[in-house]
Chain A
Amino acid sequence: MTPAKFEPGDRVRVRADGQPGHVRTPGYVRGKTGRIERFLGAFKNPESLAYGGSGLPEKPLYKVGFRQTDLWDGYAGRTQDALYIDLYEHWLEPA
């Protein structure tokens, strides 16, 4: 695995493009900007494993935090409410 590109605190934007096939990046975070919460380690790529591929090379996985008010129009909670989701590095761009 190449060294992890991001560090906790880095602002990142999730790719907005629609990649076909099995991916683990839900629509509701695509194109959204959040912050790296922590590095979770490297894992085999599910996008490859899903079709019988080896999943190698392993991909860095991060816990990424978002403000709920950045994700949803009319979010009916507190402005400090957060959502965390585990995303692969190749879905993230520096913001």
Chain B
Amino acid sequence: MTGVHDLGGSPGAGPIDKSQHDTEDWERLADAVTVALDKRGIKTTDEHRRAIESLDPKRYRKLGYYERWIAATELLLVEKGILTRKEIDQKAAELEERWG
């Protein structure tokens, strides 16, 4: 068993949903922050993938694509001691209060 992300040939995979959702601003932001951190040499694509693969399998399957990116980015920034979860919690609450 190599991991929930190792999907090639998974049994029971159904028809492909061809619908497309409009990319939301926060998804663009998630993409941009991830790549910007890569370009600054703070984290690599490989660390990013490893972090995504480490998510709980149930969460991996339920979360949207960019939600996994955000979870991975947070995990790595905390792992590297750049941010703490508490700081992020507090800032998220602050922004919520300011902007709703």
Residues of A within 8 A of B (CB): 18, 21-23, 26-28, 46, 49-52, 55, 71-72
State whether the Cβ of B53 lies closer than 8 Å to any Cβ in chain A: yes
Query: Which B residues are within 8 Å of any A CB, using their own CB?
Result: 1-2, 6, 8-9, 44-47, 49-50, 53
Contact yes or no, A51 B50, CB < 8 A: yes
A72 near B9 with CB under 8 A, answer yes
Known pairs A27-B9, A50-B50 / 17 extra A-B pairs, C-beta < 8 Å = A18-B2, A21-B50, A22-B46, A22-B50, A22-B53, A26-B2, A26-B8, A27-B2, A27-B6, A46-B49, A49-B46, A49-B47, A50-B49, A51-B47, A51-B50, A52-B47, A72-B9
Min CB–CB distance B41 → chain A (angstroms) = 12
Q: Given the known A-B contacts A18-B2, A22-B53, A27-B2, are A50 and B46 also in contact in the complex, defined by CB atoms under 8 Å?
A: yes
CA distance A28 to B1 in the complex (A): 10
Give the docked Cα–Cα distance between A22 and B51 (Å). 9
Residues of A within 8 A of B44 (CB): 49-50
Kindly provide the distance from the CB of A27 to the nearest chain B CB, expressed in whole angstroms.
Answer: 5
User: Least Cβ distance of B3 to chain A in Å?
Assistant: 9
A46 nearest in chain B by CB position: B46
Q: Min CB distance, B52 to chain A, in Å?
A: 10
- CB nearest to A71 among chain B residues: B9
Closest to B51 in A: A50
Which residues of chain A have C-beta atoms less than 8 A from B49's C-beta? Answer: 22, 46, 50
- Closest beta carbon of chain B to A67's beta carbon, Å: 15
Q: List 23 A-B contacts (CB under 8 A).
A: A18-B1, A21-B50, A22-B46, A22-B49, A26-B6, A26-B8, A27-B1, A27-B2, A27-B6, A27-B8, A27-B9, A28-B8, A46-B46, A46-B49, A49-B44, A49-B45, A49-B46, A49-B47, A50-B44, A50-B47, A50-B50, A51-B50, A52-B47
